[in-house]
Amino acid sequence: MPQITYREALRQAIDEEMQRDDRVIILGEEVAQYNGAYKVTQGMLDKYGPARVVDTPISEEGFTGVGVGAAMAGLRPIIEWMTLNFSLMSIDQIYSNASKIRYMSGGQFAVPAVFRGPNGPAEFLGAQHSQALQAMYAHCPGMIVVAPGTPYDAKGMLKTAVRDDNPVIFCEAEMMYSWKGEVPEEEYLIPFGKADVKRPGRDITLISYSKPLRLVLDAAAELARESIEAEVLDLRSIRPLDEEAIYASVKKTNRCIIIDESWPFASVGSHVAWLTAKNCFDYLDAPVELVASEDVPMPYNHNLELAVQPSVPKIIAAAKRALYLE
């Protein structure tokens, strides 16, 4: 299988879906003439023209609303937010319109739109551009929220997102665009609501998704050197959530650590921790641990920025607490 970057996996998914269905369009800031802020839409303008690859004004509320209306009218728009931090400008369009129109119209209107862009902290972006906002979107019924952590998952899930008749929040990460992984040349789709065991184990379950997945795999490799076999479960899909996979893994290992780069209060990680504690109570040999970012605005100083976020040492320490080794 060829190895390609996360960026290229997304680009291939968009290109293939635009070839397959002429209702698929792209709109957002700098997606056309500049080839995308992160070059995900490289070459799309030349290939599909300005009617299907549309540069928008710097108005997230405006072009998000245009995307919702286009989806209601029968198109299948991919709306690129330069960062999910900027999506906060369009929150009314998402919460009040995209997520509710299908329900409020009794199914007469669907909103088959994909809202995608980088989410969470990167480097030197400061407090306002380092927010992980997936929990805010997952909180609202009527939307699908996914956060793939590998190029393979990113391509398969983005193709699934484009074909779905519901609005999909597709969370990427700025630091992941250059990550490489194996992606097959033949077409494939990855269904929503299916977690993936990235590393099997018997001693403890490590649950994560998106960018922290690499940290979790590194931590699992270090634990293995101490004869601790950690199972790494990648959620991939936040809403719908694969609860069956979570419970199956925890019932096997009897211990659970959840790693989430967002703040701990009312986060995806805290919700998964509650579900696990509630539904696996009789199988747990230790309290469920949550390794999240510190509950503070993101510092600009890089040493402090790293200290705030989940890390391999933090994950290992939590695992050893759960195993009563510390």
C-alpha to C-alpha distance for 146 and 168, rounded to whole angstroms: 8
Q: Is 42 exposed, middle or buried (0-12, 13-18, 19+ CB in 10 A)?
A: middle
Q: Cα-flanking dihedrals φ and ψ of residue 12, to 5°?
A: -60, -40
The SS3 assignment for 169 reads strand
Longest distance between any two alpha carbons in the chain, whole Å: 61
The Cα-based distances of 160 to 183, 224, 294 in angstroms read: 15, 35, 33
DSSP category for residue 98: I
129 is catalytic: yes
Residues 60, 80, 231, 289: which is the catalytic one? 60
Contact 183/7 with Cβ under 8 angstroms? no
Q: 3-state secondary structure string, 57-77? A: CCCHHHHHHHHHHHHHCCCEE
Contact 29/210 with Cβ under 8 angstroms? no
C-alpha to C-alpha distance for 154 and 189, rounded to whole angstroms: 10
Residues 61, 129, 229, 243: which is the catalytic one? 129
Task: Give the distance from CA 145 to its chain's centroid.
Answer: 7
294 is catalytic: no
Q: Residues with catalytic annotation?
A: 60, 129
